[in-house]
Each structure stands twice: as C-alpha cells, then as structure tokens.
Structure 1
C-alpha cells in the first residue's frame, strides 16, 4: 500500500505503559514521535511517583495520558486500547520503540491477512545492536505454517514489541488482571488461538529494546513462574499440565524467589480450578510441539 510519508498512517496507534521510569519513557516517546507513520500515542502511567505524568504533559503534549493512580501492570494496556480508535495497536514498554516504517509494514500484513491478530517484531537489543536470543527461538518455530501466513507461526508473543488487531484483542478481553505482569501474554494468546486467530513473528518488522536498569528482577521472576503455572493449569489438559509443571519445577533455582512463586501459585488454585477451560486439541498439539524447544531455551531461564 502506498502512503505519503507526510500523511502518516491512520491505521495504527501506539500504547505505552510505564511505571517509575520517567527518563526512559521520555526517550521512547521521543523515538515514537519521530516515526514517519505519526501514530497517535497513548501513554499509561501506572501510578508512578517520579514525575512521569508531569513529564508526559510537558514534553509530549500530543500524547494521550492515562493515569489510573495505581500500578495495573499489563492491564494498563487494556486502558490504553480503549482510548484508541484505529484498526491496529502497537504495544510498547517504556524501554522499547519501533523502527521507521515498521508500524506501516505490520499494518500492511494485518490488512492482507484477516485471520492474523498479532505481529511480533524482531528485537534489536540496544545499545549493542544485536538480535535478541528469543528471536532465534521464534524463527525456529516447529508449528504448522498456514498457507500465506507471513513470518513464523506463534502461540504466544512479546507484548512490548507486538502489533495487535484491535478487534481481536477486545474480543478476548485483553490482559488478565490476575496475572498482572510477567508472562501475561500466554493466556491472552491462548484465547486468541482457540478462536482461530493467528500470531506470527515477522523479523522484517523491527523494534528496539534497551532494557531498563530500573526493574526488580526477583519480582519479575516470581510473577513469571506463578503465571506460567497458572496458565498451564488454566488451559492445558491434566496430563500435559502435570508434565509441564514437573519439568518447570525441576529446572527452577532452589531459592527464596522460587519458593515465594510456588506459594503464590498454590494460593491461586481455587481461582484456577473455577476458571479452568482446556484448549481444543489442535491448540494443545501446538503446545506439545513447542515444549521441547522451550525446555532447552537459552532465552527462557528463570534466573534473577
């Protein structure tokens, strides 16, 4: 599709969530505002106390600012999506941004493939300029590739560097409040897949990630372990869930963070049992194809 660079691209918006990373959010918003697509930007300040909201109002007045007053985690993206009106929404974290032309390329692909719900970008790690290891794993996907689907088929995605079809996102209800943050994409992706939506890693759509130093890696690992276990028992058949749980627990570090994560997971058992809804056989087959690769993944290590 030919579009005038001066006109921008009215098919796509960007939603950015942030928490206490004022300077990093400023950098990412500046990069996004320079894109030729000129996307409307929604910045969700998840209860920051470092002047983030004031910075957005002062330095990025064209952005729509949402300040829920508390840290909603990934659910902040849900609020951001509600504030958009475009067909497609690109997600960013406060330490990610997109290459020039990447958003229009993703929109072209979503236009061309009506069953495609998510385009996961290739990730350039800054400041080294190297490809993120998770990209090699996504490119080696053993999943069946439907005829004509661009890139490499996925059954989950990385929200901070992905472009979604807004209608599909809304259809499945967005991100779960229970999972908060840390591997929160897996449950949403599962609900997309069971409805026949496709997801793909497309390396030609390029995003950049300069990992923030202002993070709590122990808390992120704790939530990641908990959410992996919750997802497993929410959506996988009992045999598969048992196998994945045993394999995961065996490879986890024997430390306090793991113990807390397992305790969190156990506390959620009543909710998991109430909400348990096993995926169809074709989706479960895909999860089984991915298991061995994920078990030995260099990019999925539960360390902090």
Structure 2
C-alpha cells in the first residue's frame, strides 16, 4: 500500500466520522457517489473522506476529492478486491468508520446525525446498516435485507446478526477489537464472514431504515454473472466451515447449493466452487475453524435467525 495523502489544510488528530470508499473501474459512478456524499457532509468539519484506489492504472484520483475539506487518498497498487477497504480503515481517523460503495448514493442528507443517534442508543451497537434501495425499482430487494427472514418488518429498526454492504457504519472500537475484512475473500459474502466475527466478539448489528442509500449497481469492474455466483458459492462453503457448528454447516452446504442452482438456473459452476473450497482447505496458514459459541447462537436466535442459514 502506498502512503495516504492528506489535504493540504491542517488535519485534526481525530474526526467524528471517516467515510471510506473503495473504488475499482467505476470512475463515472464514483464521481456521482462523491457528489451525493458532498451534499450529505455539507459544512460539517467532523468528517473526513478516505478514497482507496484499487485500480492498477496510473491515474491519480486524488483530484476527485478536492471538494472535501478533509480528505485522504490511498493507492493500493493492485486490485486487492474487497479487502482493500482495510487499507482505508487502517489510516482513518474517525470514531465512526462509514463504508460507502463507489456505486451507492446517499439519500439521507442528515446521515451523520442519524448515525450518531443510532450508535448512542446502546453501547454494544457496533454496526449500523442502512436501508439500501435498488435504483431501478426504488425498492428494498430481498438480497438487501440483512436477515435470513425476508418477511421481517423492514420499516422499523431491528437488531440482526449480519449486515449487507453499500452503506454501513462501524465503531472504531469494534474495528480495533475484531479487525477488518478477511483477505481470504476477493469478492462476495465478505460482509457475512465479518458479521460472524462481530457477533462472536459480543457486538450488536442494528438495521436502521431511516438511513437510506440507493444502489445503482454499476457493472464496471464486475466479473461475469457465472463467475460471480461461483465465487459466492465457494465463499459460502468457506464461511460455513469457519463459523458454523457441524450440523448447520452440512445443511448450509447442501441447501444453499440447491437454492443457488435453482435461483440462477444453472448459471453457477458447483464443481468449480467445490474445487476452490478444496484448494482453500489445503492452503497453508488459512484461518482455523472456530464455530460460533452458544452466546453468539443465542444472539442469532434472539434476532429471529436460524443457525444453519
């Protein structure tokens, strides 16, 4: 990772919020996202913007940030995938770390006030997840609901055991306690794996529907659908192996595979996903299997979830 570059103005030792944006092959979408962020920040001086550049070209995107009073630009030097967010989290100076995707627009102009209220509601709230709407339908798609039950009331806040990306905020204390995203995952379900570690450590995840974002689903930098879904399936095997007890793990392997094959109408390569999982199992230094304990299982059940899912 190359050194982060600060704005020329004096930089405070600490901010209330750091907004961290990881970008790759989405310059047009990124600039639209930054414009929505600029509107949300307004004249606040307690927010810094950290742009993590995963592109491998020589374009200097620091110029995209000149509208922000407090800014940092981090060039990773390679496409690290989703774990590139860790480079931004490592240099961020905010007490609240806000992870914003480079193709997601902020709809709530009072975002930071609402985040403050959500985090002060209870000391063990470690993550606040926004309500993310699809730009084409302006609806909350099932895959955007941070819960295994898709009939949960999404018009009201609720505690949950997983979060979905797009617009999500974490306490600095949680990041210091749990660490960042696992480098085991290049793309797909990285939030799911992180969520397991978060609830294992005794933190809570809050879904807050009053905080609204819009997912534009820019196709820049994305792999083909079959490659995406195959990677997702392989990652699901890894996550289930790492974090779920034996019986739920087996159920997850079988039922999720069937679900994905049916949903994607064959646009997933199960054999390749199993092969990737097998290769990962043999990898030296991979994370050890540590299933969630009874406290984390009780938290999932209290949130209305099922351990096997």
Fold shared, TM-score > 0.5 on shorter chain: yes
Q: Retained in 2: the 8 A contact 1:236–1:284?
A: no
Structure with more helix by fraction: 1
For 1:142 and 1:191, the matched residues in 2 are separated by 25
What does residue range 100-115 of structure 1 map to in structure 2 within 5 Å? 100-115=109-124
Paired position in structure 2 for 1:94: 102
Q: Find the counterpart in structure 2 of residue 199 from structure 1.
A: 205
Match of residue 260, structure 1, among 272, 289, 298: 272
Aligned length: 277
SS at match of 1:230: helix
Per the alignment, residue 186 of structure 1 pairs with 192
CA shift at 1:40, angstroms? 1.2
Query: Distance in 1 between the 2:286 and 2:254 partners?
Result: 19
Shift of 1:136: 5.4
Match of residue 3 from structure 1: none
- In the alignment, what sits opposite 1:31? 36
TM-score, length-scaled by structure 1: 0.81
Q: TM-score, length-normalised on structure 2?
A: 0.80
In structure 2, do the counterparts of structure 1 residues 186 and 21 end up closer, same or farther at CA, with 3 Å as the change threshold?
Answer: same
**What are the Cα deviations for residues 102-137 of structure 1, in whole angstroms up to 9, with x where unaligned?**
232012211232100101100122144333334556
CA distance in 2, matches of 1:179, 1:151: 29
Which whole-Å CA distance do the structure 2 matches of 1:78 and 1:202 have between them?
Answer: 24
Residue 19 of structure 2 aligns with which residue?
14
Distance 1:283 1:87 in 2: 25
In structure 1, what is the equivalent of residue 6 of structure 2?
Answer: none
List runs of 5+ in structure 2 lacking aligned partners: 1-13
Q: 2:171 pairs with 160, 165, 168, which one?
A: 165
- Secondary structure of 2:184's counterpart equals coil
Note closer, same or farther for the CA distance 1:195–1:24 as it changes in structure 2 (3 Å cut): same
Q: Distance in 1 between matches of 2:96 and 2:132?
A: 20
- Which position in structure 2 is the counterpart of 1:297? none
Structure 1 portions without partners, runs of 5+? 1-8, 144-149, 295-304
Q: Deviations over 1:48-69 (max 9, x none)?
A: 43x6x43x32332243111111
CA distance in 2, matches of 1:109, 1:256: 38
CA distance in 2, matches of 1:121, 1:224: 22
In the aligned structure 2, how far is the partner of 1:57 from the partner of 1:83?
16
Q: Which residue of 1 aligns with 2:216?
A: 210
Q: 1:141 to 1:199 in 2, by over 3 A?
A: farther
Instruction: Determine helix, strand or coil for the equivalent of 2:113.
Output: helix
- Residues 15 and 242 (structure 1 numbering): CA distance in 2 closer, same or farther, change over 3 Å? same
2:158 maps to what in 1?
A: 152
CA distance in structure 1 between the partners assigned to 2:30 and 2:176 by the alignment = 26
CA RMSD in angstroms, aligned pairs only: 2.8
Q: Distance in 2 between matches of 1:255 and 1:181?
A: 17
Q: Which whole-Å CA distance do the structure 2 matches of 1:22 and 1:292 have between them? A: 40
Deviation of 1:285 after TM superposition, in Å, equals: 4.6
Worse-superposed segment, 195-204 or 180-189:
180-189
Cα-to-partner distance string for 1:253-301 (whole Å, 9 max, x where unaligned): 245633222211111123598611111113235557534996xxxxxxx
Could you tell me which of 296, 301, 307 is aligned with 1:283?
Answer: 296
What's 1:177 paired with? Answer: 183
